[in-house]
Amino acid sequence: MAERRLLVLFGSQTGTAQDMAERVGREARRRHLRCRVEALDSCDVANLIHEPLVVFVCATTGQGDPPDNMKMFWRFLFRKNLPAGSLCQLDYAVLGLGDSSYPKFNFVAKKLHKRLLQLGGNPLLPVALGDDQHDLGPDAVVDPWLVALWDKILALYPLPPGLEIISPDVCLPPKYTLHYLPEDSPHTNSGLLQPTAPRAAPCELHPFTAPMVSNQRVTAQAHFQDVRLIEFDIAGSGITFSAGDVVMIQPQNCPEDVQQFCQLLCLEPHRRFVLEPTEPGTSLPPLLPQPCTIQYLITHYLDISCVPRRSFFELLASFSTNELEREKLQEFSSAQGQEELYSYCNRPRRTTLEALWDFPHTTCAIPADYLLDLIPRIRPRAFSIASSMLAHPERMQILVAVVRYKTRLSKPRRGLCSTWLASLNPEQADVRVPLWVKKGGMKFPADPATPVIMIGPGTGVAPFRAAIQERVALGHRGNCLFFGCRHKSKDFYFQTEWEELVTKGFLTLFTAFSRDQEEKVYVQHRIQENRRLVWELLSSGNAHVYLAG
């Protein structure tokens, strides 16, 4: 009998496709299939020719681009020299996650499906196109598609005699088990990311822990929004960047939330443990030290402030010993309960920690082994770099609006990364922030004669400050900036810097302060007023236009 094994590969930017891939993996295990779930770039693409059965789950990002963790796979798959029949032994299915309000809806899934077909693959089903815009979200498409998929797979690979599908009421084993170390075992100084001598440029798995040099509020104290200009020292890191590039920052949870989480789940923060995979072949989470403390796990790894997904409630329901709580959790994890879940979680932006508060009987029954199945890891956040190495060698600056807003919940919502960054004070202590750089989507013209029109309202001006600093250092003069904010006196970022460059003839500046007069004035009004200049730059100067929000 053919070996009953399935490979689930995902390309995920925000974690939704990964969450969906894990769901496919769980459903496969309930059908007694040997199953691996991996990011597309973590698997050796050349081995696809030996795989009998693969489900691809992929999101589409930006303007029809593949997510970061499938970019290498994407380049390999579209190589011209791949033979037409190279995947003729492969049965496959593609599940796409997208948003129909974008013009290139589910572009990656459609293109992947077509390419696998060209290479001789045999599709089990038409490509599934999950849509975020649907009232029930992508599940409206995914739920029935998965039912059809399992019918197809079980027809090809029937259940072995004497085995039945494991009921959803039965809890599958966790991905890892936590083995607590005896209290008196010797401590190794594990855990804190030490700045190491760089082997190569820092990346997600090996970030550079950059010393924060300054953290300065650049909006007036009376202004409703707190915006920071933050500077890091990157000397000796091996990091290089140019205008338009992006810095990725790995944030952490605040101590109060960590403490609350430990209290709710009756965890001892200073207990040390090692992780062991339940199934052979499962790799350990790369960013967790071994051994590790509970405190480190919750501070640096578990995203207790994210809005929980349907899978969270599904797993939580299986631990619940309280009938009322279990019924509610089962409703949230059912197809019919998705509207209810949306108004409980997504609309008010309720966090995982807050959801756990609402189910106290269930929460104190969560086995520690399941923490990594229940809660996703903290994702890095991207910021436009707001300075140039030509103007500030060995330094990097970012402009950060501290995210804080109200929903119907009594406590204001706070952005995890911006709130954490704003709380750090390099004048009081040695502050280090794990970061690395990614190439950005904006490329500025190399020819000094090409003028550049930049439209950057609010913190959208950040990448243009990097570009202007870079171009001024190279002696490029054709810089035209449209900047907008609410008040000249409260949130006019880099005012003195711009005014100096205008005086020196390096910059043409147009400003729109929307609230400084009766009628609101925005950057588009200034563009319209200066249409002759804009057209002149475009038509005879071949100007490049950039817009950042």
Give residue-wise pLDDT tens across range 289-311: 999 999 999 999 999 999 999 99
Q: Give a three-class secondary structure readout of 405-429.
A: ECCCCCCCEECHHHHHHHHCCCCCC
Residue 529 and residue 508 in contact, taking contact as beta carbons nearer than 8 Å: no
Backbone angles phi, psi at 432, to 5 degrees: -125, 140
Backbone angles phi, psi at 546, to 5 degrees: -125, 140
**Spatial distance between the Cα atoms of 507 and 190, rounded to a whole number of angstroms:** 50
Estimate to the nearest angstrom the gap between the alpha carbon of 239 and the chain centroid.
21
Give residue-wise pLDDT tens across range 122-171: 999 999 999 999 877 898 999 999 999 999 999 999 999 999 999 988 89
Tell me what pLDDT residue 191 has. 46
Tell me what pLDDT residue 199 has. 64
In b/e form, how buried is each residue of 32-42, taking b as 16+ CB within 10 angstroms? ebebbbbbbbe
DSSP helix/strand/coil, 317: helix
Residue 179 and residue 404 in contact, taking contact as beta carbons nearer than 8 Å: no
**Spatial distance between the Cα atoms of 367 and 373, rounded to a whole number of angstroms:** 11
Give residue-wise pLDDT tens across range 244-264: 999 999 999 999 999 999 999
Domains of the chain from N-terminus onward: 5-156 (3.40.50.360), 208-250+380-438 (2.40.30.10), 255-374 (1.20.990.10), 452-547 (3.40.50.80)
pLDDT at 2 over 80: no
Q: How do beta strands 432-438 and 53-59 pair? A: unpaired
pLDDT at 462 over 50: yes
Residue 525 and residue 512 in contact, taking contact as beta carbons nearer than 8 Å: yes
Token pair, residue 277, equals 């995979």
Least confident of 6-20, 77-91, 193-207, 401-415: 193-207
Give residue-wise pLDDT tens across range 307-345: 999 999 999 999 999 999 999 999 999 988 988 999 999
pLDDT at 281 over 70: yes
Tell me what pLDDT residue 310 has. 94
In b/e form, how buried is each residue of 472-499, taking b as 16+ CB within 10 angstroms? beeebebbbbbbbbbeeebbbbbbeebe
Tell me what pLDDT residue 188 has. 61
Beta-bridge partners for 547: 455
Tell me what pLDDT residue 189 has. 54
pLDDT at 10 over 70: yes
**Spatial distance between the Cα atoms of 68 and 342, rounded to a whole number of angstroms:** 27
Query: Using CB atoms within 10 A of its CB, is residue 331 exposed (0-12), middle (13-18) or buried (19+)?
Result: middle
Q: How do beta strands 53-59 and 91-98 pair? A: parallel
Segment holding 513, helix H or strand E: strand 507-513
Mean pLDDT for the chain overall: 94
pLDDT at 356 over 60: yes
Q: Given phi > 0 = left and psi -120 to 50 = alpha, else beta, which region is 547?
A: beta
Tell me what pLDDT residue 294 has. 98
Give mean pLDDT, residues 46-74. Answer: 93
Considering only CA atoms, which of 243, 206, 498 is closest in space to residue 392? 243
Backbone angles phi, psi at 222, to 5 degrees: -80, -10
Torsion of Cα atoms, 350 then 58 then 124 then 4, to 10°? -80
Give residue-wise pLDDT tens across range 190-226: 444 444 444 689 999 899 999 999 999 999 999 999 9
Residue 435's pLDDT band, with cuts at 50, 70 and 90, is very high
List the alpha helices (DSSP H) in 206-341.
255-264, 294-296, 310-319, 323-332, 338-341
Query: Using CB atoms within 10 A of its CB, is residue 57 exposed (0-12), middle (13-18) or buried (19+)?
Result: buried
Tell me what pLDDT residue 195 has. 46
Tell me what pLDDT residue 246 has. 97
Residue 377 is classified by DSSP as: B
Quote the percentage of the chain above a pLDDT of 90. Answer: 88
Greater model confidence, 447 or 511: 511
Residue 357 and residue 404 in contact, taking contact as beta carbons nearer than 8 Å: no
Asked if the peptide bond before residue 291 counts as cis, ω within 30 degrees of 0, the response is: yes
Tell me what pLDDT residue 510 has. 98
